[in-house]
Amino acid sequence: MKLEGKVALITGAGRGIGRAIALELAGEGADLVVADISQGPVDETRAEIEALGRKALALVGDVTSLESMEQVTAKALESFSRIDILVNNAGITKDNLFMRMSGDEWKAVMSVNLDGVFNSTRPVVKTMIKQRSGRIINISSVVGFSGNPGQVNYSSTKAALMGFTKSLARELGSRGVTCNAVAPGFIQTDMTDKLADEHKKALLSQIPLGRMGSAQDIAKAVSFLASDDAGYITGTVIHVNGGMY
C-alpha cells in the first residue's frame, strides 16, 4: 500500500470525484479527513472508508469561508496531528452563455472554485512546512486548457488553478512540499449527468478513447501524485481525459 501512515484531507468529498478519491486513498492505506458543505454525504463517505479498515473524520467544511476551513484544519490536526495530503476537489458549475451570464453566476463559481482553493490551502500549508513534507493536489479541468462555450466562469477558475499550482510549487519546493493538479476530462458524475443528451453525444465524439471517464480514473492519478512515487514531480498537471485534449 502506497499511502500507509499518511493523512489526507479532501474537500467536496461527499460524492462524485471527491468520494472516489477518498476511497482510493483509503484503499492505499491513508486515514482521511473528508469535508463537504453538508454533513450527511460525508458521513456516508466516512462509513465507506471505515469499511475499508481506515480511520476517517467527517466534517462540514464550506470552502467559500476561510474561517470554516481553518476549523476543519484545526479539527483534523486535533484528531490526527498531521496532514500529509490536501486534495482541493470541491467545485461547482453555473453554466450560461457569456452574453447572459449574471454577476452572481460569475461570483458563485469564483467563490467555490478559486477562493475555495485559497481558503482550504492557506490553513494547511503551515503544517506541511513544519512537517517538511506534503502533497497539495488541485482538481482543475480540461476546459481550463481548451475553453468551453457556456463555461467562461468555470473555465477561468480552472485555468487560474494552474497559476496557483505553479507558483505555490515554486514557493514550497524547498520545504519538501509539492503542488500539482489533475485535469479531468468528461467524467461520469452528478455534475455531468445534468448535461443534455445531445451535448453528451457531441462531447463523446471528441474523445479518442470513446468513453466518458470514471471518478476512479481521476482518483488513480491523485493517488499517484500523493505517493512517494511522485516525489520529484511538482508544479505540473496530469491530464486524465481519454485523449480529448
Cβ distance 192 to 186 under 8 Å? yes
At position 159, the amino acid (one-letter code) is A
Would you give the distance in Å from CA 101 to the centre of its chain?
A: 25
- Please say if 245 is a catalytic residue: no
Q: Catalytic: which of 106, 154, 164, 186?
A: 154
Give the list of residues 6+ apart from residue 161 with CB closer than 8 angstroms, or none: 88, 113, 114, 117, 138, 140, 144, 181
Q: Please tell me whether residue 16 binds ligand NAP under the rule CB under 6 A.
A: yes
Q: Which three cell numbers stand for residue 190?
A: 452528478
Q: Please tell me whether residue 90 binds ligand NAP under the rule CB under 6 A.
A: yes
Stretch that binds ligand NAP, among 78-86, 88-96, 98-106, 196-204 (CB under 6 A): 88-96
Q: Which is nearer to ligand NAP, 7 or 181 (CB)?
A: 181
Least distance in angstroms from the C-beta of 77 to ligand NAP: 19
Q: Which three cell numbers stand for residue 191?
A: 455534475
C-alpha to C-alpha distances, 242 to 19, 69, 210, nearest whole angstrom: 21, 33, 8
**Among the listed residues 3, 10, 12, 23, the single contact to ligand NAP using CB under 6 A:** 12
Contacts (CB under 6 A) with ligand NAP, residues 52-71: 61-64
Q: Please tell me whether residue 14 binds ligand NAP under the rule CB under 6 A.
A: yes
Task: State the residues that interact with ligand NAP by CB under 6 A.
Answer: 11-12, 14-18, 36-38, 41, 61-64, 89-92, 112, 139, 141, 184, 186-187, 189-192
